[in-house]
Amino acid sequence: MDWPAGVTTGPIQPADVPAVVEVANAIAAADETGEYVTVEGITEALDDATDSLAVWLDGRLAGYGLVPESSVRDGQAIVKVRGGVDPGARRRGLGGPLLDWQVGRARERGADLVDVEVQAANSGALALMASRGLEPVRYFRLMQRWYDDQPVPLTPVPDGCAVIGFDPRDDEKLRIAHNEIFVDHWGFAPKSEDDWKKWFTGNRHFRSALSRIVVDGDRIAAYALGYEFPVDTEKTGVREVWIGQVGTRREYRGRGLARAAVSAVLRVGQESGFERSSLGVDADSPTGAGRLYESLGYTAISTEILHRLSLVGRSPPD
Protein backbone atom coordinates (compact mmCIF):
# COMPACT_ATOMS: atom_id res chain seq x y z
CA MET A 1 0.00 0.00 0.00
CA ASP A 2 1.12 3.54 -0.76
CA TRP A 3 0.91 5.03 2.73
CA PRO A 4 1.97 8.60 3.57
CA ALA A 5 5.16 9.27 5.50
CA GLY A 6 4.91 8.63 9.22
CA VAL A 7 2.41 5.78 8.88
CA THR A 8 2.90 2.30 10.28
CA THR A 9 0.38 -0.53 10.06
CA GLY A 10 -0.22 -3.97 11.47
CA PRO A 11 -2.93 -6.33 12.69
CA ILE A 12 -5.06 -5.00 15.53
CA GLN A 13 -3.77 -6.42 18.80
CA PRO A 14 -5.81 -6.88 22.00
CA ALA A 15 -3.94 -3.94 23.55
CA ASP A 16 -5.08 -1.75 20.62
CA VAL A 17 -8.80 -2.30 21.22
CA PRO A 18 -9.39 0.74 23.50
CA ALA A 19 -7.76 2.98 20.89
CA VAL A 20 -9.94 1.41 18.17
CA VAL A 21 -13.04 2.11 20.29
CA GLU A 22 -11.96 5.73 20.65
CA VAL A 23 -11.51 6.14 16.89
CA ALA A 24 -14.76 4.31 16.05
CA ASN A 25 -16.74 6.51 18.44
CA ALA A 26 -15.09 9.67 17.10
CA ILE A 27 -16.24 8.60 13.62
CA ALA A 28 -19.77 7.91 14.92
CA ALA A 29 -19.95 11.36 16.50
CA ALA A 30 -18.54 13.24 13.51
CA ASP A 31 -20.69 11.43 10.94
CA GLU A 32 -23.76 11.30 13.23
CA THR A 33 -24.28 7.60 12.60
CA GLY A 34 -25.39 6.84 16.15
CA GLU A 35 -23.34 3.63 15.92
CA TYR A 36 -21.21 3.86 19.06
CA VAL A 37 -19.19 0.86 20.17
CA THR A 38 -17.65 -0.65 23.28
CA VAL A 39 -14.53 -2.66 24.00
CA GLU A 40 -16.71 -5.76 24.11
CA GLY A 41 -18.29 -4.94 20.76
CA ILE A 42 -14.96 -4.36 18.99
CA THR A 43 -13.54 -7.52 20.54
CA GLU A 44 -16.47 -9.48 19.13
CA ALA A 45 -15.99 -7.83 15.72
CA LEU A 46 -12.34 -8.85 15.75
CA ASP A 47 -13.34 -12.41 16.55
CA ASP A 48 -15.60 -12.38 13.47
CA ALA A 49 -13.01 -10.75 11.20
CA THR A 50 -10.64 -12.74 9.02
CA ASP A 51 -8.28 -9.77 8.83
CA SER A 52 -7.75 -6.50 10.69
CA LEU A 53 -5.49 -3.50 10.28
CA ALA A 54 -4.47 -0.74 12.65
CA VAL A 55 -3.19 2.44 10.99
CA TRP A 56 -0.80 4.47 13.15
CA LEU A 57 0.22 8.01 12.25
CA ASP A 58 3.13 9.45 14.20
CA GLY A 59 2.53 6.90 16.95
CA ARG A 60 -1.21 7.53 17.34
CA LEU A 61 -4.01 5.32 16.02
CA ALA A 62 -5.50 7.20 13.06
CA GLY A 63 -7.69 4.53 11.51
CA TYR A 64 -8.61 0.87 11.41
CA GLY A 65 -10.08 -1.70 9.07
CA LEU A 66 -11.88 -5.02 9.50
CA VAL A 67 -12.51 -7.63 6.83
CA PRO A 68 -15.19 -10.06 8.08
CA GLU A 69 -15.90 -13.46 6.64
CA SER A 70 -17.99 -13.44 3.49
CA SER A 71 -21.68 -14.23 3.35
CA VAL A 72 -23.16 -15.97 0.33
CA ARG A 73 -26.23 -14.48 -1.34
CA ASP A 74 -27.56 -15.55 -4.71
CA GLY A 75 -24.44 -17.61 -5.23
CA GLN A 76 -22.03 -14.70 -4.69
CA ALA A 77 -19.60 -14.26 -1.79
CA ILE A 78 -20.04 -10.78 -0.31
CA VAL A 79 -17.64 -9.13 2.14
CA LYS A 80 -18.94 -6.07 3.97
CA VAL A 81 -15.89 -4.24 5.31
CA ARG A 82 -15.82 -2.04 8.39
CA GLY A 83 -13.57 0.69 9.70
CA GLY A 84 -12.57 4.23 8.91
CA VAL A 85 -10.25 7.13 9.60
CA ASP A 86 -10.32 9.29 12.72
CA PRO A 87 -11.96 12.63 11.83
CA GLY A 88 -8.85 14.43 13.08
CA ALA A 89 -6.68 12.52 10.61
CA ARG A 90 -8.86 12.82 7.50
CA ARG A 91 -7.65 14.30 4.22
CA ARG A 92 -4.14 13.09 4.94
CA GLY A 93 -4.10 10.25 2.42
CA LEU A 94 -5.12 7.42 4.76
CA GLY A 95 -8.60 6.45 3.51
CA GLY A 96 -7.51 5.33 0.04
CA PRO A 97 -4.77 2.90 1.11
CA LEU A 98 -7.00 1.57 3.91
CA LEU A 99 -9.81 0.78 1.48
CA ASP A 100 -7.32 -0.68 -1.01
CA TRP A 101 -6.04 -3.02 1.70
CA GLN A 102 -9.57 -4.12 2.59
CA VAL A 103 -10.47 -4.80 -1.04
CA GLY A 104 -7.20 -6.67 -1.55
CA ARG A 105 -7.77 -8.90 1.45
CA ALA A 106 -11.37 -9.57 0.38
CA ARG A 107 -10.08 -10.54 -3.07
CA GLU A 108 -7.55 -12.92 -1.56
CA ARG A 109 -10.35 -14.48 0.45
CA GLY A 110 -12.29 -15.24 -2.73
CA ALA A 111 -14.95 -12.53 -2.47
CA ASP A 112 -17.07 -11.72 -5.51
CA LEU A 113 -18.41 -8.43 -4.11
CA VAL A 114 -17.17 -5.89 -1.56
CA ASP A 115 -19.70 -3.70 0.27
CA VAL A 116 -18.98 -0.44 2.10
CA GLU A 117 -21.51 1.74 3.93
CA VAL A 118 -21.00 5.52 3.71
CA GLN A 119 -22.96 8.42 5.14
CA ALA A 120 -24.54 10.57 2.45
CA ALA A 121 -23.26 13.69 4.21
CA ASN A 122 -19.63 12.50 4.11
CA SER A 123 -18.49 14.05 0.83
CA GLY A 124 -14.90 12.89 1.25
CA ALA A 125 -15.93 9.25 1.67
CA LEU A 126 -18.28 9.47 -1.31
CA ALA A 127 -15.46 10.80 -3.47
CA LEU A 128 -13.22 7.96 -2.29
CA MET A 129 -15.84 5.37 -3.23
CA ALA A 130 -16.11 6.82 -6.73
CA SER A 131 -12.34 6.96 -7.16
CA ARG A 132 -12.07 3.25 -6.37
CA GLY A 133 -14.94 2.19 -8.62
CA LEU A 134 -17.51 1.44 -5.94
CA GLU A 135 -21.05 2.26 -6.99
CA PRO A 136 -24.07 3.15 -4.84
CA VAL A 137 -26.56 0.30 -4.85
CA ARG A 138 -28.91 0.92 -1.92
CA TYR A 139 -30.01 3.74 0.36
CA PHE A 140 -30.98 3.36 4.02
CA ARG A 141 -32.52 6.02 6.24
CA LEU A 142 -32.08 6.48 9.97
CA MET A 143 -35.42 7.59 11.43
CA GLN A 144 -36.21 8.91 14.90
CA ARG A 145 -39.31 9.62 16.94
CA TRP A 146 -39.08 11.69 20.11
CA TYR A 147 -41.68 11.10 22.80
CA ASP A 148 -41.84 14.70 24.10
CA ASP A 149 -44.63 13.70 26.49
CA GLN A 150 -46.91 13.03 23.55
CA PRO A 151 -48.96 9.84 24.00
CA VAL A 152 -48.54 7.04 21.49
CA PRO A 153 -51.89 6.17 19.95
CA LEU A 154 -53.05 2.60 20.45
CA THR A 155 -53.45 0.73 17.17
CA PRO A 156 -56.20 -1.89 17.23
CA VAL A 157 -55.80 -5.26 15.55
CA PRO A 158 -58.40 -7.21 13.60
CA ASP A 159 -60.69 -9.66 15.34
CA GLY A 160 -58.90 -12.93 16.05
CA CYS A 161 -55.48 -11.28 16.40
CA ALA A 162 -53.75 -10.14 19.56
CA VAL A 163 -50.59 -8.23 20.51
CA ILE A 164 -48.49 -10.14 23.04
CA GLY A 165 -45.04 -9.90 24.61
CA PHE A 166 -42.01 -11.89 23.54
CA ASP A 167 -41.99 -15.45 24.88
CA PRO A 168 -38.66 -17.33 24.59
CA ARG A 169 -40.62 -20.54 23.96
CA ASP A 170 -41.77 -19.05 20.64
CA ASP A 171 -38.29 -17.97 19.58
CA GLU A 172 -37.85 -20.66 16.90
CA LYS A 173 -41.29 -19.88 15.48
CA LEU A 174 -40.26 -16.24 15.31
CA ARG A 175 -37.02 -17.07 13.47
CA ILE A 176 -38.93 -19.12 10.90
CA ALA A 177 -41.45 -16.30 10.47
CA HIS A 178 -38.63 -13.78 10.02
CA ASN A 179 -37.00 -15.87 7.29
CA GLU A 180 -40.33 -16.26 5.53
CA ILE A 181 -41.20 -12.56 5.76
CA PHE A 182 -37.92 -11.24 4.41
CA VAL A 183 -37.27 -13.81 1.70
CA ASP A 184 -38.28 -11.29 -1.00
CA HIS A 185 -36.33 -8.36 0.46
CA TRP A 186 -33.16 -7.06 -1.15
CA GLY A 187 -29.92 -8.58 0.15
CA PHE A 188 -31.60 -10.91 2.61
CA ALA A 189 -29.95 -14.13 3.71
CA PRO A 190 -31.94 -16.62 5.84
CA LYS A 191 -30.87 -16.64 9.47
CA SER A 192 -29.63 -19.89 10.96
CA GLU A 193 -30.39 -20.76 14.57
CA ASP A 194 -26.89 -19.67 15.57
CA ASP A 195 -27.08 -16.37 13.67
CA TRP A 196 -30.52 -15.66 15.10
CA LYS A 197 -29.28 -16.13 18.65
CA LYS A 198 -26.09 -14.16 18.07
CA TRP A 199 -27.51 -11.11 16.33
CA PHE A 200 -31.18 -11.06 17.36
CA THR A 201 -32.94 -12.52 20.39
CA GLY A 202 -29.75 -13.83 22.02
CA ASN A 203 -27.88 -10.57 21.58
CA ARG A 204 -26.97 -8.79 24.81
CA HIS A 205 -28.75 -5.64 23.59
CA PHE A 206 -32.05 -7.37 22.84
CA ARG A 207 -34.85 -6.42 25.21
CA SER A 208 -37.72 -8.88 25.42
CA ALA A 209 -39.72 -6.35 27.45
CA LEU A 210 -39.48 -3.91 24.52
CA SER A 211 -40.61 -6.43 21.90
CA ARG A 212 -44.12 -7.24 20.73
CA ILE A 213 -45.61 -10.05 18.64
CA VAL A 214 -48.95 -10.04 16.81
CA VAL A 215 -50.49 -13.50 16.75
CA ASP A 216 -53.45 -15.00 14.98
CA GLY A 217 -54.26 -17.93 17.22
CA ASP A 218 -50.93 -19.72 17.60
CA ARG A 219 -49.50 -18.31 14.36
CA ILE A 220 -47.10 -15.36 14.35
CA ALA A 221 -48.49 -12.73 11.98
CA ALA A 222 -46.22 -9.74 12.67
CA TYR A 223 -43.62 -8.54 15.14
CA ALA A 224 -41.37 -5.67 16.24
CA LEU A 225 -38.19 -6.38 18.22
CA GLY A 226 -36.67 -3.79 20.55
CA TYR A 227 -33.09 -3.22 21.65
CA GLU A 228 -31.25 -0.87 23.99
CA PHE A 229 -27.63 0.24 23.58
CA PRO A 230 -26.30 1.68 26.85
CA VAL A 231 -23.18 3.04 25.12
CA ASP A 232 -25.43 5.23 22.94
CA THR A 233 -27.09 6.64 26.06
CA GLU A 234 -23.66 7.26 27.56
CA LYS A 235 -22.46 9.13 24.47
CA THR A 236 -25.63 11.07 23.62
CA GLY A 237 -27.35 11.47 26.96
CA VAL A 238 -30.57 10.13 25.40
CA ARG A 239 -32.19 6.85 26.39
CA GLU A 240 -33.43 5.29 23.18
CA VAL A 241 -35.44 2.27 22.06
CA TRP A 242 -33.91 0.86 18.89
CA ILE A 243 -36.45 -1.10 16.86
CA GLY A 244 -34.26 -3.54 15.02
CA GLN A 245 -36.68 -5.74 13.09
CA VAL A 246 -40.28 -5.25 11.98
CA GLY A 247 -42.10 -7.72 9.78
CA THR A 248 -45.49 -8.98 8.66
CA ARG A 249 -46.25 -12.27 6.97
CA ARG A 250 -47.39 -11.77 3.40
CA GLU A 251 -50.95 -12.99 3.94
CA TYR A 252 -51.42 -10.49 6.78
CA ARG A 253 -50.04 -7.42 5.03
CA GLY A 254 -52.29 -4.41 4.58
CA ARG A 255 -54.18 -5.05 7.82
CA GLY A 256 -52.25 -2.71 10.13
CA LEU A 257 -50.41 -5.42 12.06
CA ALA A 258 -46.92 -3.94 11.73
CA ARG A 259 -48.34 -0.62 12.87
CA ALA A 260 -49.87 -2.35 15.89
CA ALA A 261 -46.58 -4.05 16.78
CA VAL A 262 -44.48 -0.88 16.42
CA SER A 263 -46.96 1.31 18.28
CA ALA A 264 -47.06 -1.24 21.12
CA VAL A 265 -43.25 -1.09 21.38
CA LEU A 266 -43.40 2.70 21.34
CA ARG A 267 -45.96 2.71 24.14
CA VAL A 268 -43.99 0.39 26.40
CA GLY A 269 -40.83 2.41 25.71
CA GLN A 270 -42.54 5.60 26.75
CA GLU A 271 -43.96 3.95 29.85
CA SER A 272 -40.46 2.68 30.72
CA GLY A 273 -38.89 6.13 30.65
CA PHE A 274 -37.24 6.13 27.22
CA GLU A 275 -36.92 9.51 25.50
CA ARG A 276 -37.05 8.49 21.85
CA SER A 277 -37.13 5.58 19.43
CA SER A 278 -34.99 5.04 16.35
CA LEU A 279 -34.91 2.56 13.51
CA GLY A 280 -33.36 2.04 10.10
CA VAL A 281 -35.33 1.52 6.91
CA ASP A 282 -34.51 0.55 3.36
CA ALA A 283 -35.51 3.54 1.23
CA ASP A 284 -36.74 1.12 -1.44
CA SER A 285 -38.55 -1.27 0.88
CA PRO A 286 -41.11 -3.26 -1.12
CA THR A 287 -43.62 -2.96 1.74
CA GLY A 288 -43.51 0.84 1.97
CA ALA A 289 -42.12 0.68 5.51
CA GLY A 290 -40.89 4.27 5.41
CA ARG A 291 -44.41 5.60 4.97
CA LEU A 292 -45.61 3.48 7.89
CA TYR A 293 -42.94 4.90 10.20
CA GLU A 294 -43.63 8.46 9.10
CA SER A 295 -47.29 7.97 9.94
CA LEU A 296 -46.22 6.94 13.45
CA GLY A 297 -44.25 10.15 13.92
CA TYR A 298 -40.77 9.11 12.81
CA THR A 299 -38.69 11.49 10.71
CA ALA A 300 -35.60 10.72 8.63
CA ILE A 301 -32.47 12.35 10.02
CA SER A 302 -29.71 10.85 7.86
CA THR A 303 -29.08 8.57 4.91
CA GLU A 304 -26.51 5.81 4.59
CA ILE A 305 -25.50 4.62 1.14
CA LEU A 306 -24.35 1.08 0.52
CA HIS A 307 -21.59 1.05 -2.11
CA ARG A 308 -20.53 -2.10 -3.92
CA LEU A 309 -17.51 -3.21 -5.94
CA SER A 310 -17.63 -6.30 -8.11
CA LEU A 311 -14.36 -8.24 -8.17
CA VAL A 312 -15.62 -10.70 -10.77
CA GLY A 313 -13.50 -10.31 -13.90
CA ARG A 314 -11.66 -7.33 -12.40
CA SER A 315 -7.89 -7.60 -12.31
CA PRO A 316 -6.13 -6.42 -9.16
CA PRO A 317 -4.31 -3.07 -9.46
CA ASP A 318 -0.61 -3.11 -10.30
| Average pLDDT over every residue of 97-116 | 97
Is residue 24 scored above 90 in pLDDT? Answer: yes
pLDDT digits (tens, 9 = 90+) for 151-178: 898 899 999 999 999 999 999 999 999 9
Q: Span 7-133: which CATH code?
A: 3.40.630.30
Q: Which long-range contacts (CB under 8 A, 24 or more apart) does 269-274 make?
A: 269/147, 269/210, 269/226, 269/241, 270/147, 270/151, 270/152, 272/209, 272/210, 273/239, 274/147, 274/239, 274/240, 274/241
Average confidence score pLDDT of the chain: 95
Nearest to 21 by CA among 234, 252, 296, 294: 234
For residue 318, the model assigns a pLDDT of 61
Answer whether 7-133 and 143-301 agree in fold. yes
Q: Are 160 and 217 in contact (CB under 8 A)?
A: yes
Q: How far is CA 55 from CA 9, 32, 50, 59, 210, in A?
A: 5, 23, 17, 9, 39
pLDDT digits (tens, 9 = 90+) for 301-316: 999 999 999 999 777 7
Domain map (residue ranges) of the chain: 7-133, 143-301
- Percentage of residues in the chain with pLDDT exceeding 70? 99
pLDDT digits (tens, 9 = 90+) for 50-106: 899 999 999 999 999 999 999 998 899 999 999 999 999 999 999 999 999 999 999
Domain 143-301: give its CATH architecture: 3-Layer(aba) Sandwich (3.40)
For residue 34, the model assigns a pLDDT of 87
| Average pLDDT over every residue of 280-298 | 91
Q: Give the span between the Cα atoms of 2 and 8, in whole angstroms.
A: 11
